[in-house]
Structures are given as structure tokens and as C-alpha cells.
Amino acid sequence: MTTPTSAASTESTGRTVRRSRFSTYLGLTKPRIIELLLVTTVPTMFLAAGGFPPVFTMIATLIGGALAAAGANTLNSFIDRDIDAKMARTGHRPLVTGEVTPRAALVFGLVLSALSVVWLALTTNLLSAALAAGAIFFYVVIYTLGLKRRTPQNIVWGGAAGCFPVLIGWAAVTNSLSWAPWVMFAIIFFWTPPHYWPLSLRFKDDYAAAGVPMLPVVASKTRVGWEILIYSWIMVAASLLLIPVAPMGWIYSVVAVTLGVLWLYEAHALMHRIRKAARGGPEDVKPMRLFHGSISYLALLFLAIGIDPFVG
């Protein structure tokens, strides 16, 4: 006979197992990446609407975008499980530890991806659904299967998949695309390499061990530093181009200029540390300063995009 205490214990254990399983599958989707993608979607919808978009449209778009990103990230985890096992940074992922089988991950990723496209088609419009399908295809097929293991420019073109949320958000509100979302697409496109290459500098040995030709693996730190500077200047220029194209008001203009100056200062400071290292200075060029700063940059820039329509 089961006592109340043992029944409660069993129920608690069941909840723990369910939470553990939920957390495991959530880990496959790389939720931190999803958060960053959604940070760019909401402000884009505010700008497209010139204020608050319809609440249902906004919620439906966020759900669809999250499902699309989760599906693509899960399929990426499925494909890259072999190289994830060789890197300390990714050695804890569910497919590496065996918490999820490859077959289960593949089915999970395909279901999430298909569900996202169907959901957006039913709740927003066909253009948003088509863009979500394009983003999934680009990230899984073009980047993960095609470019990641073959070229040091992998993250440049692969990063384009992370630009699709601004197009999806704009299309969900307007059922069309204009120059403004494409400029925001360009901002994120040129932001991605100088955001990711500092991380690649920090974990260069991991990528080398896995056989992934990230730029810091196949090129000198000096070359990486120059590439970061070039993309940084183009990114800042793209952020300023949005002012006349959208057009944007004084809130965004002030924030874009201020953040641009701070970014370029950090990018040039990283290049300065790289040059000192090349002359025999400290080997640690502290690339993570720019990496962490880049996340704040994008979040604050898009926060300004979201606020600007209300201040005008």
C-alpha cells in the first residue's frame, strides 16, 4: 500500500524527471541564441508599425520565430554532434553526453521547423512563413552542412541566417519588405563576424581540434584583427544609414552614434593589443571584452529602434 508520503515523493520525482527532460531538450535549441534573435524582432515590429503592432501579431510572430530558431538550432546540434564532442566549450551538450539520441534530436528539430512555418502561415502571413523557411534552410543547409567545415568565411555567410528575424518581424506587420528591414539585416550581417571572431580567438584551440577552419585557426591574430576592424566600420556605417532610410528620430540617432564610437574604440583597442602581442607582449589579447560588448551593443541599438517611433 502506498503511503501519502511515498506518493508525494513519487510525484515529486516525476516532476523532477519531467523538468530534467524538458531542460535537456531545451538545451538542444540553444535558448540564449533564441533570446538574442527575439531581441531584434520586437523593436523591428515597433518600427514597422510606427508604434505598437497588433498584440496577437506580435505574440504569434515571437512564437513562430522562437520555434524556427529552436528547430534550426536543434538540427545544427544534430549535424555538429561529432565536432561538439571534440570541443570543451560544447562538450556538455545533450547529444554529446548521450542524454538525447540522434534520432530523437533529428525528429525534434524537423517537427519544430515545420511547426514554425505552418504557425506563421496561419497566424501572420505567407511572406513571414516563407522567410522563416528560408532562414532554417540557410542555417542548416548552407551554413552547417555547406560552409562551416569548408571555409574560414563560414561565419560571415552563416551569420546571414541570424538576420532573418528582422525581415520576418517587418513582414509580419506590413506583409511586405522595404529598404528599412534590409538595412537592419545589413547591420546584423556585418555585426556577426566581429561579434563571433573574438570568441573564436578565445577558443581557437577548440576549433582547431575539431577541424573547423574558423578564421583565427587558419590566419594570424593580426589578420583577424584587421578583419574585425573592417567589418566593424561597415557595421557602424550601416547603423547610421538607417537614420535617413527609416527615417529615424533623435533617440536612435544619438544612441547609434554613441554605441558606434564605443564599439570602434573597443575594436581598435583589441587591434592594439594584438599588435603588442605580435611584438612580444602579453599573449592574451582579451578578445572577450569585444565579444561581451557586442551583445550589449546589439541589444541597446535595437532597444533604441523600438523606442524611437514613440518619441519621434
CATH number at residue 143: 1.10.357.140
pLDDT digits (tens, 9 = 90+) for 19-65: 478 888 888 888 887 887 788 999 999 999 999 999 999 999 999 99
User: 272 and 285 share a domain?
Assistant: yes
pLDDT of 124 reads 96
pLDDT of 5 reads 38
User: 51 and 193 share a domain?
Assistant: no
Average pLDDT over residues 120-144: 96
User: 232 and 189 share a domain?
Assistant: yes
pLDDT of 163 reads 93
| % of residues, the chain, pLDDT over 90 | 71
Residue 274 clears pLDDT 90, i.e. is over it:
yes
Q: Are 197 and 291 in contact (CB under 8 A)?
A: no
Average pLDDT, the chain: 90
pLDDT of 35 reads 81
User: 144 and 224 share a domain?
Assistant: no
Average pLDDT over residues 160-170: 94
pLDDT of 38 reads 82
User: 307 and 186 share a domain?
Assistant: yes
User: 131 and 201 share a domain?
Assistant: no
- Number of structural domains (the chain) is 2
pLDDT-based confidence at residue 224 (cuts at 50, 70, 90): very high
Residue 261 lies in a domain: yes
User: 136 and 258 share a domain?
Assistant: no
pLDDT digits (tens, 9 = 90+) for 68-116: 999 999 999 999 999 988 888 788 889 988 899 999 999 999 999 999 9
User: 32 and 146 share a domain?
Assistant: yes
pLDDT of 184 reads 97
The residue from 120, 144, 177 where one domain ends is 177
Average pLDDT over residues 154-158: 86
Half-sphere exposure of 73 (CA within 13 A, CB side): 21
- Largest Cα–Cα distance in the chain? 77
Residue 84 lies in a domain: yes
Q: Cα–Cα distance between 93 and 88 in angstroms, integer?
A: 10
User: 184 and 126 share a domain?
Assistant: no
Q: What is the CATH number of the domain that holds 243?
A: 1.20.120.1780
User: 161 and 275 share a domain?
Assistant: no
User: 183 and 225 share a domain?
Assistant: yes
Residue 38 lies in a domain: yes
Residue carrying the nine cell digits 571534440: 86
pLDDT of 3 reads 42
Average pLDDT over residues 158-170: 92
pTM over 0.75: yes
pLDDT of 195 reads 95
Residue 155 clears pLDDT 80, i.e. is over it:
yes
pLDDT digits (tens, 9 = 90+) for 235-268: 999 999 999 999 999 999 999 999 999 999 999 9
Q: Which of 2-11, 141-150, 230-239 has the lowest mean pLDDT?
A: 2-11
Residue 10 lies in a domain: no
Residue 150 lies in a domain: yes
Residue 283 lies in a domain: yes
Residue 295 lies in a domain: yes
Residue 15 lies in a domain: no
User: 229 and 166 share a domain?
Assistant: no
The residue from 177, 206, 222 where one domain ends is 177
pLDDT-based confidence at residue 312 (cuts at 50, 70, 90): low
pLDDT digits (tens, 9 = 90+) for 168-210: 999 999 999 999 999 999 999 999 999 999 999 998 888 888 8
Give the residue numbers spanning the domain of 224. Answer: 178-312
